[in-house]
Structure 1
């Protein structure tokens, strides 16, 4: 009897101990996988939302920067447009001023001629007309250089200067070496030449086959250079040139970057 009670007590204590230990063990939910997946999705959504916000900020910064650049370009465009407009306006203003002065001078000149005519002073009228022609006459000048041929071995050989720095009214012909006066008047001519070392040159300035100035040059020990010229009144169409007056085998000129052979002419007064 006593043994039976002890056995029952042991069984009861065992059952109670088992149930107590079972109650302390963690119990897994049947939705554990779904819960973990949901938690991962929530974390991923948070990260994506953070990335979207950062991208949005970057996009806003880029749009703002592009806007600043666009505004800067627009400002520069407006500034250059204003500058161009100001320059154009100033040029037009100057042009109008010049035209206005020309018209005023022309009107004054015509009024003067009319007044003189009404007084019967034909001589004064003619002088003013001639003066008007002179004022309207463009300048005449040339400055030629670089000889085509520097050997002076041919009789009456014309020196042809192939290039011109100045040739107003195109009076000088680089293919023939001749200057033809486009208008009558008082002209000044200057010739500058350099003789070859050990050679000589005899040159003349010619007006319509008449020598009006002459020069001789001897390059004994070096390349010697001389200058000569004349002031002469020409009729329209008169021709002037430079020629060799005493040809020979030992007659030769010289030119380089330090020594130019030149021929120039200028209308001083017509």
Structure 2
């Protein structure tokens, strides 16, 4: 009986010790879980804060990149538009025909015939072959904006009344006179001329007192150039 009690007591002690170990182990596990939970929370907080910082940095960089992209796109668009305009202007210049003439030397210096065409017989340049040295008439090869210039010299004690004519309409005129010396004067006009229209120089007032003069110091001349078509 005594032996049995001793065995029972021994078993109870073992059970108590085992129970204490289990409770201690459970406490350790609980503390470990609590520590791990706190550590995970801290890690989560740190990760969240770091992610937020990274997110803000990414947003900031996205904003900077967007601004840089918009600025670059604007500059490129402006540059492309400028280059397009330059190419258009260059193309227009390449497509524009070269029309220009410069003629001088008048054979008939007397201006005693009504509406007499003044013929400049020597051609220095005649791009586009619009000017005819035999008639003194310029025929526009293409329509456009032209500039014409006339220079004449008058004998002393003589008059000269000169007109620039477009299709029988005087578009510019000049007169000159001097009692004692030769005198020279220039005039001109910028006018739109249609293809095939004619331009010439004539005496707008004719009589025996009208006369031009020319020598190595004085040159009568007629010129024109296509400015834009």
TM-score w.r.t. structure 1 length? 0.51
Q: CA deviation at 1:148?
A: 1.8
2:155 equivalent to 1:201 = no
How many residue pairs get aligned? The number is: 143
Q: Which has the higher strand share?
A: 2
2:173 equivalent to 1:211 = no
Which string of whole-angstrom CA distances, capped at 9 and with x for unpartnered residues, describes residues 214-270 of structure 1?
Answer: 111103211100001100001001100000111011100000010000000010111
TM-score w.r.t. structure 2 length? 0.60
Alpha-carbon separation, structure 1, partners of 2:117 and 2:189: 18
Which structure's relative contact order is higher, taking Cα pairs within 8 Å and 6+ residues apart?
2
Who is 1:174 aligned against? Answer: 133
Alpha-carbon separation, structure 1, partners of 2:205 and 2:178: 16
2:119 equivalent to 1:160 = yes
Secondary structure at the counterpart of residue 149 of structure 2: strand
Aligned Cα RMSD in Å? 1.8
2:173 equivalent to 1:189 = no
Alpha-carbon separation, structure 1, partners of 2:147 and 2:105: 20
After TM superposition, what 4+ stretches of structure 1 lie above 6 angstroms from structure 2? 128-131
Alpha-carbon separation, structure 2, partners of 1:228 and 1:129: 34
2:218 equivalent to 1:259 = yes
Which string of whole-angstrom CA distances, capped at 9 and with x for unpartnered residues, describes residues 127-169 of structure 1?
Answer: x999857623331000000002110000010000000111101
Which string of whole-angstrom CA distances, capped at 9 and with x for unpartnered residues, describes residues 178-221 of structure 1?
Answer: 00000111000000000011111001000000000011110321
Alpha-carbon separation, structure 2, partners of 1:263 and 1:209: 17
Secondary structure at the counterpart of residue 217 of structure 2: coil
Alpha-carbon separation, structure 2, partners of 1:174 and 1:219: 29
